[in-house]
Structure 1
Amino acid sequence: MTVDPASATRSPSVPGPRLHATAAAAAADNVAAPVASATTGPPGGRAAWFAWGVAVSVYVLAVIHRTSLGVAGLDAVHRFGINAAALSTFSIVQVLVYAAMQVPVGLLVDRFGPRRVLLLGVVLLTAGQLAFAFSTAFGPALVARAVLGCGDAMTFISVLRVAARWFPPAQNPLVAQLTGLAGMGGNLVTTVVLAQALHSEGWTASFTGIALLGVLALALVALLLQEAPAGAAPLVAAGERAPVRDQLRDSWREPGTRLGLWVHFTTQFPANAFALLWGLPYLVEGQGMSRGEAGGMLTLLVFANMFFGLLFGRLLSRGPAVRMPIVLWVIGATGGCWALALAWPGGHPPLWLLVLLLFVMGSNGSASLVGIDYARSHNPVHRLGTASGIANMGGFLATMVTLLGIGVLLDLLSPGGGGGGYSAAAYRGAFCWMYVPLVLGTLMILRLRRQVARAAA
Structure 2
Amino acid sequence: MSSSASKPYPPQRLAWFIWGLGAAFYLIAFFHRVAPGVITDELMFDFNLGAAGLGSLSAFYFYTYVAMQVPTGVLADRFGPRLLLGFGALMAALGAILFALAPNFAIAATGRALIGASVAVAFVSMLKISAHWMDAKRFALASGIALSIGMLGAIAAGVPLRISVDGIGWRNTMLIIGGATLVISALIFYFVRTDPSSYGYQGYAVDDGQTTPKQGMLSGIIHVLQHRNALLLVFIPAGIVGPLLTFSGLWGVPFLTTHYGMTDKEAAFYTSLTLVAWALGGPLFGWLTDRLQRRKSVYLAGITMFLLAWIVLIQVPALPLVVLALLLFIIGLGSGAMVISFAFGKESVPAHLAGTSSGLINMGVMLGPMSLQPAVGWLLEKRWTGERIDGSPVYDLASYQFAFNAMLIWTVIATILLALTRETYGRQKHVD
Separation in structure 2 between the aligned mates of residue 341 and residue 238 of structure 1, nearest angstrom: 52
Separation in structure 1 between the aligned mates of residue 45 and residue 340 of structure 2, nearest angstrom: 39
Corresponding residue for residue 207 of structure 1: 174
Select the residue among 69, 83, 93 that pairs with 1:116: 83
- Measure how far apart 1:423 and its partner are: 1.8
CA contact (8 A) 1:269 1:395 kept: yes
Calculate the aligned-residue CA RMSD, in Å: 2.8
Q: What is the letter of the counterpart of residue 285 of structure 1?
A: T
Q: Show structure 2 runs of 5+ residues with no match.
A: none
CA contact (8 A) 1:41 1:168 kept: no
Separation in structure 2 between the aligned mates of residue 125 and residue 308 of structure 1, nearest angstrom: 27
Select the residue among 310, 319, 324 that pairs with 2:292: 319
> Could you tell which deviates more after superposition, 417-426 or 282-291?
417-426
CA contact (8 A) 1:184 1:306 kept: yes
- Measured at CA, do residues 204 and 364 of structure 1 come closer, stay the same or move farther in structure 2, by a change above 3 Å? same
With normalisation by structure 1, the TM-score equals: 0.84
Corresponding residue for residue 106 of structure 1: 73
Separation in structure 2 between the aligned mates of residue 212 and residue 63 of structure 1, nearest angstrom: 16
1:179-258 aligned at under 5 Å gives the runs: 179-230=146-197, 241-258=214-231
Select the residue among 349, 358, 378 that pairs with 1:408: 378
What secondary structure sits across from 2:235 in the alignment?
helix
Corresponding residue for residue 300 of structure 2: 328
Q: Show structure 1 runs of 5+ residues with no match.
A: 1-36
- Measure how far apart 1:174 and its partner are: 0.7
- Measure how far apart 1:292 and its partner are: 1.8
Separation in structure 2 between the aligned mates of residue 343 and residue 40 of structure 1, nearest angstrom: 59
> Could you tell which deviates more after superposition, 417-426 or 267-276?
417-426
What secondary structure sits across from 1:432 in the alignment?
helix
Post-superposition CA distance 1:48-88 (Å, at most 9, x none): 11211122111112212222212112211111111000000
CA contact (8 A) 2:206 2:351 kept: yes
Corresponding residue for residue 14 of structure 1: none
1:427-446 aligned at under 5 Å gives the runs: 427-446=400-419
1:351-430 aligned at under 5 Å gives the runs: 351-416=321-386, 420-430=393-403
- Measured at CA, do residues 417 and 129 of structure 1 come closer, stay the same or move farther in structure 2, by a change above 3 Å? farther
What secondary structure sits across from 2:319 in the alignment?
coil
Post-superposition CA distance 1:240-289 (Å, at most 9, x none): 63222321221111223123323322222221211221111111123221
What secondary structure sits across from 2:196 in the alignment?
coil
Q: What is the letter of the counterpart of residue 366 of structure 1?
A: G
Separation in structure 2 between the aligned mates of residue 277 and residue 74 of structure 1, nearest angstrom: 11
Separation in structure 1 between the aligned mates of residue 360 and residue 167 of structure 2, nearest angstrom: 41
- Measured at CA, do residues 72 and 118 of structure 1 come closer, stay the same or move farther in structure 2, by a change above 3 Å? same
CA contact (8 A) 1:262 1:445 kept: no
Identity fraction in percent: 29
Corresponding residue for residue 259 of structure 2: 286
- Measured at CA, do residues 435 and 40 of structure 1 come closer, stay the same or move farther in structure 2, by a change above 3 Å? farther
CA contact (8 A) 2:82 2:194 kept: yes
CA contact (8 A) 2:278 2:335 kept: yes
Q: What is the letter of the counterpart of residue 278 of structure 1?
A: W
**What number of residue pairs does the alignment pair up?**
417
Separation in structure 2 between the aligned mates of residue 187 and residue 391 of structure 1, nearest angstrom: 21
> Could you tell which deviates more after superposition, 229-238 or 77-86?
229-238
- Measure how far apart 1:364 and its partner are: 4.8
CA contact (8 A) 1:334 1:357 kept: no
CA contact (8 A) 1:284 1:291 kept: yes
- Measured at CA, do residues 40 and 358 of structure 1 come closer, stay the same or move farther in structure 2, by a change above 3 Å? farther
Separation in structure 2 between the aligned mates of residue 137 and residue 220 of structure 1, nearest angstrom: 33
Query: Would you say 1:138 and 2:105 are equivalent positions?
Result: yes
What secondary structure sits across from 2:261 in the alignment?
coil
Separation in structure 1 between the aligned mates of residue 64 and residue 326 of structure 2, nearest angstrom: 32
Query: Would you say 1:150 and 2:117 are equivalent positions?
Result: yes
> Could you tell which deviates more after superposition, 443-452 or 196-205?
443-452
Separation in structure 1 between the aligned mates of residue 256 and residue 161 of structure 2, nearest angstrom: 18
Post-superposition CA distance 1:152-199 (Å, at most 9, x none): 101110011001101111111111111111111111221132211111
Q: What is the letter of the counterpart of residue 328 of structure 1?
A: L
With normalisation by structure 2, the TM-score equals: 0.89
Separation in structure 2 between the aligned mates of residue 235 and residue 367 of structure 1, nearest angstrom: 25
Separation in structure 2 between the aligned mates of residue 238 and residue 316 of structure 1, nearest angstrom: 30
